[in-house]
Structure 1
Amino acid sequence: MSGGGGPRTRRAFLGAVAAVVVAATTVSCAGAAQYYEGTGLHDATVTEVAGDWKSVEGTRVVLRRDGTAVLEKLDGQGFDYDDGWRLSGRGTWRLTDTSGGQTVRLVLTDRTRVDRRPPGTSAETPEPGTPEPDASEPGASGPEAPSTYAWSFHVDRDKRDAPVLFFFCGDPDIGNTYVMERGSAS
């Protein structure tokens, strides 16, 4: 090696290159959801967040000002989304604030129904408008749905400055979001 670099310099250089490759590989395996720190929103109020929220395929969540909630066909969060169950029932909710931003913590305490998404639908390949079979029907398959469950929705604002609720669903490396938008007044 010319220019004054000897074996020690070459080893140091190769070590630095290896460290960069390992770091790049580690970061590329960590998806958006795995290290998400929040929206940074800290100014939403309970009054703003309370109300009727809707998403795809008949999902509806009503957050009442008294801290109670009604859920219809709400899918699981994270990898639970891939299990295909959709829960309905009653529960509680609260608006929390951390350094990363606000979240709505929703807890299902009284499950009244379980539906299932059709086979083949997932966070990566949604098929809007496809009816879901009832979980009690013969042939309904998939992991058993939990009798109670908790979600953490991140609170953000849309372009009109209205609140939006979302959580990550499916594989965290992919970073798919399940978005709830304001429904009709209730």
Structure 2
Amino acid sequence: MAGGSGLRAWVAALCGLLVVLPALTACAGPYQYYEGTGIHDATAAEVAGGWENVEGTRVVLRKDGTALLAKLDGQGFDFEDGWRLSGRGTWQLTDDDGGQVVRLVLTARTRVESRSPTTVTDTSTTAPPSEYSWSFYADRDQHDELKLFFFFGDPDIGNTYVMTRETGS
């Protein structure tokens, strides 16, 4: 029965792997190891201008590297806090192996709003930041139009916060 014990050991090892592998990857959500869109052809001139999303967020990226933003939600888990920031800041288009990213930094907060009273956590422990930074991935839609996005919420879900060219821009 030497062959039988070898088979049993192989089956036991396989079963062990099937139990351990999901546990190891359970926290590796879609964006935790996101490597980018692979877009490398966007220019700063193309990125400059007005951007909006369906939630009423508006971001203006000026050609001189300054930015105006209104009602911009937090990135990642910060989204769960429910605050929306408005103010002035700076931006730049960066490029690495994974693709291009727009780095936006809020340097002067002018207003804080909330998405809804039910989404805001206790502000005594989670006050909205006075300065904040976002990393928007540059991508293209089916019409080759540029769009910007970041991930928000639980990393296992992979929700995207998409900004498209402002109507009329």
Match of 2:61 in 1: 63
Match of 1:132 in 2: none
For residues 71-117 of structure 1, the C-alpha deviation after alignment (integer angstroms, 9 at most, x for no partner) is 00100000000000000000000001111111000000011110111
State TM-score, norm by structure 1. Answer: 0.82
Aligned residues: 167
Match of 1:51 in 2: 49
**Separation in 2, partners of 1:174, 1:119:** 23
The amino acid of 1:34's aligned partner reads Q
**Separation in 2, partners of 1:69, 1:97:** 19
State TM-score, norm by structure 2. Answer: 0.90
- In percent, how many aligned pairs have the same letter? 62
Match of 2:108 in 1: 110
Does residue 42 (structure 1) correspond to residue 40 (structure 2)? The answer is: yes
Match of 1:176 in 2: 159
**Separation in 1, partners of 2:22, 2:35:** 20
Q: Which of the residues 129, 133, 141 maps onto 1:146?
A: 129
Q: Is the 8 A contact 1:51 1:185 kept in 2?
A: no
**Separation in 2, partners of 1:27, 1:170:** 18
Match of 1:89 in 2: 87
Q: Which of the residues 145, 151, 158 maps onto 2:141?
A: 158
| Unpaired stretches in structure 1, ≥5 consecutive residues | 123-139
| Unpaired stretches in structure 2, ≥5 consecutive residues | none
**Separation in 1, partners of 2:168, 2:19:** 53
**Cα RMSD (Å):** 2.0
